Structure 1
Amino acid sequence: MKTYTAAAVPLLRHNASVDDVDAKTGATIYYRCLFKQNMLFREHRKLLERQHPNVNLIDPITGQTPLEYAIRNNPELVTGLLNLNADPNIKSCINEENLLSDKPVNALVHAVMLNSVEALKILFEHPNGVTTMDLTETDDEHRSILHVIVSPYKSATYDNVEAFKMLQQYLSPEALESLINQKDIYGKSPADYVASQKSSKLYDVLSPYLTQTSETQRQSSSHDTEDMDVDPVHELLPVDVHGDADLQKRKLELEDLKKKEEEAKLLNGGVLPDDWDKKVEIEPQSQLAQVGKVLIDANDEPYDILLNKTDVRRGYHGINMFYKMQLIHNTIQDIYFVWTRWGQIGEEGMHQRTPFQSKEEAENEFKKIFKSKTGNNWENRSIEEFVEKDDRFVVTRNVHNRQVPLKPIDFKKCSPSKLPLSLQATLKLFCDVTSMKQVMLDKDTDIPLGYLDRSVIEEGYQTLCNIREAVNELTAAQNSLDYDYRVVKDMRERLATMSNHYFRKIPYRNEKLRGIQSITTKEILQEETRRLENLRYLNGGANIILAAQYRAEIRSPLDYCYSALGCNWAEVGKGSEEFLRINNYLHQSGRTENYELMNVWSLDKVGQRERFKPFSQNSNRMLLWHGSRFSNYLGILSQGLRVAPVEAPCTGYMFGKGVYFADMFDKSVGYSINDSNATRGYSCLLLCEVALGDMFEATEAKYMESAPDGFLSTKGLGRYGPDFRKALHDNDGLIIPQGPVIERAAKLDSKKRKIEFSLNHNEYIVYNVDQIRLKYIVLVKDHNYCSLCNKEGSEIKHLSELKFGNDHLAGFNSFEQCVANSFLRYNGISMNNLFHERVKDLVIETNAYERSWSPSMPLSYDSKVCSGCGTKLLSMVVSEYLRLNAQKLPTELTSRPDCWYGDKCRTQHNNLAHSVHYNHLCQQTVGGSNPGTS
């Protein structure tokens, strides 16, 4: 498409003035070229050489002057504009939402607040720059330019010494000292602001000017008191998660037992059989479930066993098999069957049913098969006596007979929560059992949530630790100049044995195409480590949900979960500077415009302040991203971010065991994508204060148990990252990257050759969790997804942006649509106006939309929806409006009986007589005097 700049060129060649005004926008041709088309520097320079446009107007569209635009986007343009006598005193401000500051200010203040050192140098050096300005001028808060330099924002600074030195060189010592001690309307001077900040550069430069009062103020400022006045949204009450979870498991098992007792009575003519509690569920594939029962052995235990066999060495995909055995008595025909079923774990497999006339023959055959598969006698199958043997099956420890799957929480049947609605909605995302179960399947694990014993996870970590050492030895042997085939073969055999042991302990569901494989590389080790970490967090989260369900009758499950997390939450106001800083961090470090910041909460986890105290004065503390799925957050927030258990300190990550962070939203949000239909479109991330100290900079993968000597952390250098010259420092010295994203210059090796980046984005790794302070939890939404149906679409708009004609009623039959159109037209109301005037009180505030959708977050007028859901909302508004104004409708309409199926009736759309006779602007009911047909 032809750009505006290109279209303007012929006009300019024919001596059209660049100051001619575009009648449509009110902007000059020059302003349209500059602001609308992002004119290239060379094009702009040529234009300025040919003509001399007026550069002292405020653009009616963007609200900027050319100087403000240049400072924000391309400081190189500043010189050319000043040559054209651009006035740096003109105050302007770009028309954008979510700015850290939206007050019109002059060019010098813009340069300081954007920390544009290039623009500042030009303004101080150019004859048409600061020489034309009054540097002692103050704003409506009595803040001078020095106030802006030391504290451009209420609680953050760039710690920019260069800007101060430029001002210092320009002003006389007397004038500078006057500015340093000049107080604003809050009674604070620049010296006072510097004294309250932990950043040291400006303090060191201004220290000769500081008074004794300011020195005392600085000494009394401490990280330990920061955020102590945060008002949490709810009190943390004591909870016993493990105890309550165990009680809930027992409760579920007893309920399941009770259900089986009732079934046993029903099948036995109302009389409970003596051996009902010994009854084992018969596999349905045997076709004996209705006529048989599993026999009991001499030790009063059922002839029912599940075996498994794992061997990564067998075949291309390895072996990961189960073998199920039952001894079943057909009570109708008095025949005994040895039932066996076998196959790959995760599949139904094959089966066989062998009949016997006598119980003794069947028992002997059952025991014979058991011994042939395991190498053990049936009588020695207990954990204490069973001996695992090579190339044989083992008894599965985690038999599922007594394990009842975790069920979703029915919040509508529970005690109401006392938490803010926005926090309730977020915790519901964390408590989505369906998502957690899906993740368990994704991780190839077939164990009910909450039933994976912690000791099994610990043993799994220890096994992976041993495997890592063996993998390192194998890698070294394979790369050795003295390659020995027999040594490598022995190492692979040892790794196969350890892998078999690991997969027996950590249940694994097969993938048909991949199967199961020996852990022989760092990549496979990394994959298994992450799987185990997810299982740890999932299991911890599931136990919190189980515990909350146990106490649901006396306490809201959401309130219980809140206390179980051990974190004080405080919502960060959407208009606050704190919120806007985070929003700017998100958008500057996220090279996509898809995400919208929904909510931010500050966190204060119990005990972390004391643990972090040794690092609280570290000068290199940075606010960094850490992303994870919703299903992990109950585990993460309750346990904290963890490296690995003490008993198994190893992982397979790129830079060794540690907790990984990023300075790019783009990188971390990739770990937060949720596949569940209920949560799709939403993501949650942590922003953590991380004490990095001296960082070991790595350009390629290197496994480390800890940072090298003399370093506190590792930084994996990426090609792209935020421009740290623009980073803010809060009053406590925490560095907050603000972008924009720039490409890094390649490092050179000892021979001056470029070292290629192995990462696109920076990674920060700490090996001691005490260096981490959970600071914020951030909820974002991909606005390409509808807020109601959670489906992705191209026509997603804010409710406030939706426009409707009079034929947009979804779900209305032709007769009732005609009634609605006629009634609204008669009253002079358009459907579009009705929607925007009444959607809040008729649908949003009454939660009427929940009849058709179960959105992840409460609907608001700012929510984005697809066109289909928007049309359905319009229908709801019109339906509710007609119901409220029923007295104004003819009695022939209001006296019609309701259709049993209400607005769900299908007949109404193809049977005019039915749609005329029955009212369908109602909900489906269970009965009625004349329900109609559907």
Structure 2
Amino acid sequence: MLFGALGPCPVCSNGLYYYNGQYQCGGNVSEWSKCAYSTTEPVRIKKKWQIPDGTDNEYLIKWFKSQKVKKPERVLPPMSPDKSGSKATQQSRLLSSEGLDKLRFSIVGQSKEAVEDWIQKLKLAGANFHARVAKDIDCLISCGELDNENGEVRKARRLKIPIVREEYIGECIRKNRMLPFDLYKVESALESSKGGTVTVKVKGRSAVHESSGLQDTAHILEDGKNIYNTTLNIYYILQIIEEDNGSECYVFRKWGRVGSEQIGGQKLEEMSKSDAIQEFKRLFLEKTGNPWEAWERKTNFQKQPGRFYPLDIDYGVKQAPKRKDISEMKSSLAPQLLELMKMLFNVETYRSAMMEFEINMSEMPLGKLSKENIQKGFEALTEIQNLLKNTADQALAVRESLIVAASNRFFTLIPSVRPHIIRDEDDLMSKAKMLEALQDIEIASKLVGFDSDNDESLDDKYLKLHCNITPLAHDSEDYKLIERYLLNTHAPTHKDWSLELEEVFSLDRDGELTKYSRYKNNLHNKMLLWHGSRLTNFVGILSQGLRIAPPEAPVTGYMFGKGLYFADLVSKSAQYCYVDRDNPVGLMLLSEVALGDMYELKKATSMDKPPRGKHSTKGLGKTVPLESEFAKWRDDVVVPCGKPVPSSVRSSELLYNEYIVYNTAQVKMQFLLKVRFHHK
């Protein structure tokens, strides 16, 4: 009272309180996150204190009459390190402010050449190399797969020294500073991947949780459209389980912290069906702050501060416990096409992609997220992007609290083995690209049902693509032209691998030619251009065509705005196949693109579409295909198959040409290429 009433929190407008040497907020910055605002210099209300009318406290009455409007300023003692945050937070602050000259590291790996290469790079950056693990080093870096029997690894574990993946080195060198170890620890990745593939027994439209012990003899209660099953974030599983042969019901609950079996518990209670439904709804309301009907009907459900949020889980519905090997099924498809279908519909490829994206598959059975969750994930990323961009609009503490809230929301919707605060644009863009890939995985899952119980053949799956795919003869004119285009246009800076053409397929997706005809007939300047993408994206691409990033996705990372990007040098696009030495075969597209009049630029420029009168955007590169070696395809389509030469463009920021269209109807997919990468 001596120093005046505290003003509201500038982040969430809730009240502040004094604790541990500073003023902290006790409110919520949003329904997803508590407010993290704290300060030693709070804003105070510049008014006299009011006392209730009719009070008979003589001391208060006397004090009230003598108080002044201007209050003395409260001076707090400096914060000691042990009060300024958790040990992990302190370490993060310390590391983020230190250069690489402070890093003391040791390194292990099966490839001596790779180890020596990283040692030299870190030494050049100023880091201090230790040949042996000792208690005074900061971390042990694992180059490649970790050998658990290695003496240095065992010593590091004994001394509790962080063991980090080699990606840590690249990020430290790129940002020229020490980074916190948490995001790069080998142990956390190993722990989260254990049991990453969860086999569930689906009955009806859902699956009994295996921890209940009833998955073989019972099923989730269904009552009309109601399915009494929900998984709440961080985490609380709630199910009504009904006996397969009988009327007995059980309410099953399991709760805990993701990644920790030591924290949490479970409960299984037998009761009548009506009592089970009543108890299920009571618990749902208690945990979420919303009635069950609001979630089931997808109407008026509002996330409540400090409460759980249900996650959509797709159980596939038609999953069968055992399926025939697709290699044993008879097929009428051409051998080359059959091999392509095996590539496209290999479920292990999709599981590997989910693991690569660090999706927590043990938290999300079958690893299938809903379309709605992916869309909401994009919205959370866009919110973070706006906060990172508009640094002048808000105080640092306010912005930090909002970034934490949006990051919490993102990792609630998209479970990760390494949830963290998204604080820079590189991290933001990697998450956006991950969501784009997840969209295609979701499309593939819905389209062909990897776990369907009718032993669907590859021929049936092929028909579901609604895209006519025809192998080209290797001695055909089109094949020879495409092979020349591929061999000639490898960019000079892409030296880590070479490309070998294995197969070419002509494409005719249902309805695509009709949409393209308007632009084919009315726009000049048509070119056959490259586009590369992950293998897991191609079921979505072949069935739905190339798509532009959705409106809710952040615009960060797109050099010329959201559009369809193409290249005239094969290796420029091949980078986006994301193959590796273990899986060296990728797929690429050659598409006919109606470019019309191009808006030519020498550096990245954000836009929704090119200026009026322009039909596409071209980023002008320093190296281009030799024009005298260009070819024509089907009379009016240019094939820029010349060898790379220096361009006449001056002061461009782009190494190679990029072509962007902002309307999917300007593109007709013509050829699908199966390409083998030979890594050097």
TM-score where L is the length of structure 2: 0.57
One of 236, 241, 247 as aligned partner of 1:323: 236
Alignment-derived partner of residue 498 in structure 2: 594
* Secondary structure of the corresponding residue to residue 568 of structure 1: strand
**Letter aligned with residue 767 of structure 1:** Y
Q: 2:211 is matched with which residue?
A: 283
Residues 475-554 of structure 1: pairs in structure 2 closer than 5 A: 475=389, 477-478=390-391, 483=392, 485-486=394-395, 489-490=397-398, 493-494=401-402, 496-504=404-412, 506-511=413-418, 515-518=419-422, 522-546=425-449, 552=455
Cα contact 2:347–2:450 (8 A) shared by 1? no
- Structure 2 SS opposite 1:616: helix
Q: What are the Cα deviations for residues 744-781 of structure 1, in whole angstroms up to 9, with x where unaligned?
A: 3552xxxxxxx352x33322111101111101111122
The match for 2:339 is 425
Task: Compute the displacement of 1:560 (Å).
Answer: 2.1
**Aligned counterpart, 2:584:** 681
1:747-896 paired onto structure 2 within 5 Å: 747=650, 755=651, 757=653, 759-783=654-678
**Corresponding residue for residue 568 of structure 1:** 468
Query: Which structure dedicates a bigger proportion of its chain to helix?
Result: 1
Partner of 2:325: 410
Matched, 1:607 2:505: no
Deviates more, 1:490-499 or 1:374-383: 374-383
The verdict on how the C-alpha distance between 1:663 and 1:400 changes in structure 2, with shifts beyond 3 A counting, is: same
Matched residue type, 2:303:
E
Higher deviation after alignment, 384-393 or 610-619: 384-393
Native 8 Å contact 1:282 1:294 kept in 2? no
Letter of the 1:715 counterpart: K
Distance 1:499 1:732, change over 3 A: farther
**What is the CA RMSD across the aligned residues, in angstroms?**
4.7
8 Å CA contact 2:403, 2:421 repeated in 1: no
Aligned to 1:672: 577
| Preserved contact between residue 622 and residue 647 of structure 2 (Cα < 8 Å) | yes
1:173-231 deviation line (CA, Å, top 9, x unaligned):
xxxxxxxxxxxxxxxxxxxxxxxxxxxxxxxxxxxxxxxxxxxxxxxxxxxxxxxxxxx
Q: Which one has a larger percent strand, Structure 1 or Structure 2?
A: 2
Give the conservation status (yes or no) of the 8 Å contact 2:323–2:453. Answer: no
Query: What residue number does 2:525 align with?
Result: 620
Residue matched to 2:564:
659
- Taking structure 1 as reference, are residues 642 and 356 closer, same or farther at Cα in structure 2, changes over 3 Å only? closer
How far is the alpha carbon of 1:570 from its aligned partner?
A: 3.1
Task: Report the CA distance shift for 1:290/1:770 in structure 2 as closer, same or farther (over 3 A).
Answer: closer
Query: Deviations along 1:63-117, whole A, 9 cap, x unmatched?
Result: xxxxxxxxxxxxxxxxxxxxxxxxxxxxxxxxxxxxxxxxxxxxxxxxxxxxxxx
Q: How many angstroms apart in 2 are the aligned matches of 1:326 and 1:533?
A: 32
- Secondary structure of the structure 1 residue equivalent to 2:312: coil
How much has 1:725 moved relative to structure 2? 3.1
Kindly tell me: are residues 722 and 527 of structure 1, through their superposed partners in 2, closer, same or farther at Cα, counting changes over 3 Å? same
CA pair 566-474 structure 1, distance change in 2 beyond 3 A: same
Report deviation, 1:726.
Answer: 2.1
Question: 8 Å contact 1:324–1:342 — kept in the other structure?
Answer: no
Query: 1:435 maps to what in 2?
Result: 349
What is the CA distance between 1:323 and its match in structure 2?
A: 3.4
Aligned partner of 1:307 in structure 2 is 232
Structure-2 change in CA distance of 1:568 and 1:450 (3 Å): farther
Deviation of residue 578 (structure 1)?
2.0
How big is the shift at 1:580?
A: 1.7
Kindly indicate whether the alpha-carbon contact (under 8 Å) linking 2:472 and 2:506 is maintained by their aligned counterparts in 1. yes
**Gapped regions of structure 1 (runs ≥ 5):** 1-251, 259-276, 309-320, 329-335, 748-754, 785-793, 795-934
Whether the aligned pair in 1 keeps the contact of 2:318 and 2:452 (CA below 8 Å) is: no
Partner of 2:332, secondary structure, is: coil
Cα deviation, 1:270-313, whole Å, max 9, x if unaligned, reads: xxxxxxx99944517xxx779999999999x99975321xxxxx
Q: Quick one: structure 1 residues 296 and 775, their matched pair in 2 at CA, closer, same or farther if it must change by over 3 Å?
A: closer
1:423-453 C-alpha deviation (Å, 9 max, x unpaired): 1111111111110121123234445669544
SS at match of 1:655: coil
Deviation of residue 395 (structure 1)?
2.7
1:398 to 287, 302, 313: 313
Distance 2:383 2:399 in 1: 11
The answer for the alignment partner of 1:257 in structure 2 is 203
Distance 1:780 1:302, change over 3 A: closer
SS across alignment from 1:389: coil
Task: For residue 517 of structure 1, give the secondary structure of its aligned residue in structure 2.
Answer: coil
Q: Specify whether residues 343 and 700 from structure 1 end up closer, same or farther in structure 2 by C-alpha distance, changes over 3 A only.
A: farther
- C-alpha contact (below 8 Å) 2:555/2:561 kept by paired residues: yes
1:629 alignment partner in structure 2:
534
Q: Is the 8 A contact 2:318 2:451 kept in 1?
A: no
Give the SS at the match of 1:422. helix
Q: Secondary structure at the match of 1:594?
A: strand
For 1:307, the aligned partner's letter is L
CA displacement, residues 21-76 of structure 1 (integer Å, 9 cap, x when unaligned): xxxxxxxxxxxxxxxxxxxxxxxxxxxxxxxxxxxxxxxxxxxxxxxxxxxxxxxx
Q: Give the secondary-structure state (helix, strand or coil) at the position aligned to 1:693.
A: coil
SS of the residue corresponding to residue 670 of structure 1 reads helix
Task: Look up the equivalent residue of 2:475 and give its one-letter code.
Answer: G
For 1:697-747, what per-residue CA distance to the aligned partner results, in whole angstroms no more than 9, with x for missing partners? 233322211122332112223333322232122342211112211233552
Please state if 1:578 is matched with 2:478.
Answer: yes
CA contact (8 A) 2:526 2:596 kept: yes
Q: Using the TM superposition, give the Cα deviation of residue 574 of structure 1 relative to its aligned residue in structure 2, in angstroms.
A: 1.4
Query: 1:500-548: CA deviations, max 9, x gaps?
Result: 44544x432222xxx2334x65444432332222122112222332289
1:605 corresponds to which letter in structure 2? R
Tell me the percent identity: 30
Cα deviation for residue 575 of structure 1 reads: 1.9
Distance 2:633 2:471 in 1: 19
Q: How many Å apart are 1:639 and its aligned residue?
A: 0.2
Separation of aligned partners in 1, 2:640 and 2:206:
64
- The structural deviation recorded for 1:585 is 1.1
- Structure 2 stretches of 5 or more lacking a match? 1-198, 242-249
User: Does residue 704 in structure 1 map to residue 607 in structure 2?
Assistant: yes
| CA 1:407–1:522: 2 relative to 1, 3 Å | farther
- Kindly provide the amino acid, as one letter, of the partner of residue 660 in structure 1: Y
Q: Label 1:386 to 1:774 Cα distance change in 2 as closer, same or farther (>3 A).
A: closer
Counterpart secondary structure, 1:636: helix
Structure 2: distance between partners of 1:672 and 1:771:
23
Three-state SS of the structure 1 residue aligned to 2:603 is coil
